[in-house]
Structure 1
Amino acid sequence: MILSADAETLWGAATGLARAVAEVSRDPGRPALLFFTDPARTPEPWLTAAGLPPGAAVVYRSFGSPDARSVAERLRGLTAERGVRLLIGLDADLAEAVGADGVHLPERALDQAGELRRRHPRWQVTGAVHSVATLATARSLSAAVLSPVFAAGGASAHRSALGVAAFAAAVRAAPVPVYALGGISAANADTLAGSGACGLAGVASMQTAFGRGIRI
């Protein structure tokens, strides 16, 4: 598989972080890189899904879209072929219906994590976290996604960036593995080396780097 220069940089940084925290050997199902979809910013997420390497994951967030089932099925087909994981945002019923690998919870729904993991012990149940205080309580997650590390767009545009030092301190105190999200790009991904993150996550940067899939 041939990756773009930006994709190689992001994937190398993500897998390097995963190896550094030695999580891959203890949980081989945990992806090193998460591509978060967004109806407005990533209107054709299957193109990016088709360009992701094995060991990455798509987090499909439908936000109530009427075509959520058909898009999720399309993503499940692509990800299954490529050895890429598929997590569904919030909707556990949709995750079950399409045979997804887990669920990603928004911060407001983190209290669902424990029950979801009990019902689906093989699922990855990740959750969005936007403060150090919330991260400290997120013990039921498979992994947390802390943002924004850097200045970001989308829903995190109004939030102050943590910066690498504060992010690393939060990771050290966290009860679960932590992904870095928010403003991450090929230009700054390597600055997270040594931060303790278990991998990288992104929206637009992942689409730009990996979104060279074939239209089907």
Structure 2
Amino acid sequence: MARCYSVPVKNRQPSLPLLWLVSDVRNDAVLETVLARLPRGSGLVFRHYHLPPAERRARLARLLRIARRRGHVVAVSGDMALARRLGADGAYGPAGVLAKGMAGVRLATAHDLRELAAGARARADAVLLSPVFPTASHPGGKAIGPLRWRLIAARSPVPVIALGGVTARRARSYRLARWAAIDGLSAPLGSSGMRR
């Protein structure tokens, strides 16, 4: 069961979920099903870089309806102005892209301690630090590893979410309380080890 924790931030309503589904061309066909089975109050990071703008907006609108029914928080890849226009709860991206001063959940991306610090300076509500494990998104890429990930995360003044090759089984084994996944929550459907 996903748990939420409150982040004391000005003018922002949603609690920040511990479990995040990240959208991608690889899991596009099963997103509705996965969103519907995620524990209430989970999160969706909507990327969908593979779609042209009009199709991307239409796809997000369909997913937002499901997310709202399930009490999920939705962050869109891009800045806060785009997130507002699309009706999302917040934005996801590199620290330099996240606009300060606008209400909404800010999720910064990071791959090392320097980028994590930039996310904190940008007043992100959380930082997605990746890749923890080898991942299909970056075949052959170097993973941080769970021990080094934990050492980096421990230095963060903001919550850190594990991303990259994380599954429910790995999250439990390595005690990763906050995690996000593409394949780890959706491919193949039903084999992620997530409790229903």
Common topology (TM > 0.5): yes
Deviation (angstroms), 1:93: 4.5
1:125 aligns with 2:106: yes
Kept in 2: contact 1:60–1:87 (CA 8 A):
yes
Contact 1:76 1:98 in 2 (8 A): no
Contact conserved, 1:49 with 1:78, CA < 8 A, in 2?
yes
**1:146 is the counterpart of 2:132:** no
CA offsets, 1:71-125, max 9 Å, x none?
11111111111111111111544422332111111x3xx213252xx122xx111
**Which residue of 58, 70, 78 corresponds with 1:82?**
70
**Size of the alignment, in residue pairs?**
181
SS at the partner of 2:28?
coil
Partner of 2:41: 55
- Indicate the residue corresponding to 2:148 in structure 1: 166
Are residues 1:134 and 2:120 paired?
A: no
Three-state SS of the structure 2 residue aligned to 1:179 is strand
Question: Which runs of structure 2 are paired with 1:25-36 in the superposition (5 Å)?
Answer: 25-27=6-8, 29-36=15-22
TM-score by length of 2: 0.82
Q: CA RMSD in A?
A: 2.3
| Higher RCO (CA-CA < 8 Å; seq separation 6+) | 1
Q: Which residue of 1 aligns with 2:11?
A: none
What's the counterpart of residue 32 of structure 2? Answer: 46
1:96 is aligned to 84
- Once the two structures are TM-superposed, the CA of residue 176 in structure 1 deviates from its matched residue by 1.4
1:203 alignment partner in structure 2: 182
Higher share in helix: 1
Structure 2: unaligned runs, 5 residues or longer: 9-13, 192-196
Secondary structure at the aligned position of 1:187 is classed as: helix
How many Å separate the matches in 2 of 1:89 and 1:25? Answer: 22
What one-letter code is carried by the residue in structure 2 that aligns with 1:167? W
TM-score (norm. length: structure 1): 0.75
